Amino acid sequence: MEKVCYTVGGRTILTDFDMLFERGVNRTILGVSGSGKTTILKLILGLIHPQHGRIFINGLEITGQPEAAYREQRKKIAVVFQGGALFDSMTVGENVGYRLFEEGRLPEARIEEIVREKLRFVGVEPALNLYPAELSGGMKKRVAIARALAADPEYIFFDEPTTGLDPIGVYNIVSLMRRLQQDGKTTLMVTHDLATAFATSQRFSLIHESRLAFEGSEAELRASELYNVKEFLKPTDQSLFV
C-alpha cells in the first residue's frame, strides 16, 4: 500500500498509509478498536476503494482496475473474517467447500476429499455435517480457517482470530497459524491481542489516528520510545487510548 487515503461517512480512516506485506514475513497490524485495521484488509481485497494512493498485489496495481484484471492475484489471498462469517443455512462441510463448488472446476468427490482434509487439519472433521449454530465459538473460528484454506491460498488474512476465545482456543489458533507458516503460507493478522501477535509474527504495524505510527520487529516495538507505541503496549490512567 502506497500513501493510501481512505475516508468514509465524512471520517478519515487512513491518511498516507504505507505498508509492505512480503511473502514469508508474517505481519500483525495493531491498533485500538475502530482504528481502521479491518479497513486495511478490505482495501487489499478490493472490497472497498481508497480515494488516494495505490495498492499492489504481487506487483500488479489493483487500484483503478476492474476486478477481472487482478482476479488471479486475488485468488492467492484467503481471509478468515472477524467472527467467522459462516453461512448459517449450510453445514460445516458445505461452508468449507462453498468456493470450490461455486467455481465448479473440480468433481464433487474431489471437493469432498479437500473439505475433509482441511477440516482434519484444523481438528474439527467430526463436525462435517453439523450447522454453525451447533458449534462453539472456537470451533467456528477453526471452520472459518478450514474454509479459507480450501482454495489453497499463498497469503491468509486473519481478522482478530482469537477474540472471545478461552486460553485453549487461543493456543489452538496460534498453533494452527504456525503450522500454516511452516507449510509456506504467509499470514497477515489484525488483532489487539499482543501475546498472539508476538507468537505468530515477525513484523508489526501500529495504526494510530489514521496513520502508520510504527513499523518494525518485536524487539523494536518493545524498545520503542514513541509515546503511541508505549501507550498501546502499556496503557496508563492518562492514556490517550482510554
Ligand X SMILES: Nc1ncnc2c1ncn2[C@@H]1O[C@H](COP(=O)(O)OP(=O)(O)OP(=O)(O)O)[C@@H](O)[C@H]1O
Asked if 38 is part of the footprint of Mg ion (rule: CB under 5 A), the reply reads: yes
Which residue has its beta carbon closest to Mg ion? Answer: 38
Cell of 179: 503450522
Which of ligand X, Mg ion, none sits in contact with 35, Cβ below 5 to 8 A by type? ligand X
Residues at the contact surface with ligand X, assessed by CB under 6 A = 8-9, 11, 13, 31, 33-39, 82
Listed ranges 38-46, 52-60, 123-131, 215-223: which one lies at the site for Mg ion (CB under 5 A): 38-46
Report the SS3 class of residue 44.
helix
Asked if 7 is part of the footprint of Mg ion (rule: CB under 5 A), the reply reads: no
Asked if 163 is part of the footprint of Mg ion (rule: CB under 5 A), the reply reads: no
Cell of 153: 491460498
- Nearer to ligand X by Cβ, of 33 and 238: the residue is 33
- How many angstroms separate the CA atoms of 66 and 73, rounded? 13
- Nearer to Mg ion by Cβ, of 33 and 238: the residue is 33
**DSSP letters of 155-215?**
EEEEESTTTT--HHHHHHHHHHHHHHHHTT-EEEEEES-HHHHHHH-SEEEEEETTEEEEE
Q: If we measure between CA atoms, which residue out of 172, 168, 167, 166 comes closest to residue 144?
A: 172
User: In whole angstroms, how close is the CB of 143 to ligand X at the nearest point?
Assistant: 20
Residue type for position 34: G
Which of ligand X, Mg ion, none sits in contact with 39, Cβ below 5 to 8 A by type? ligand X
- How many angstroms separate the CA atoms of 147 and 106, rounded? 16
Asked if 15 is part of the footprint of Mg ion (rule: CB under 5 A), the reply reads: no
Which of Mg ion, ligand X, none sits in contact with 153, Cβ below 5 to 8 A by type? none
Residues contributing to the site for Mg ion (CB under 5 A): 38
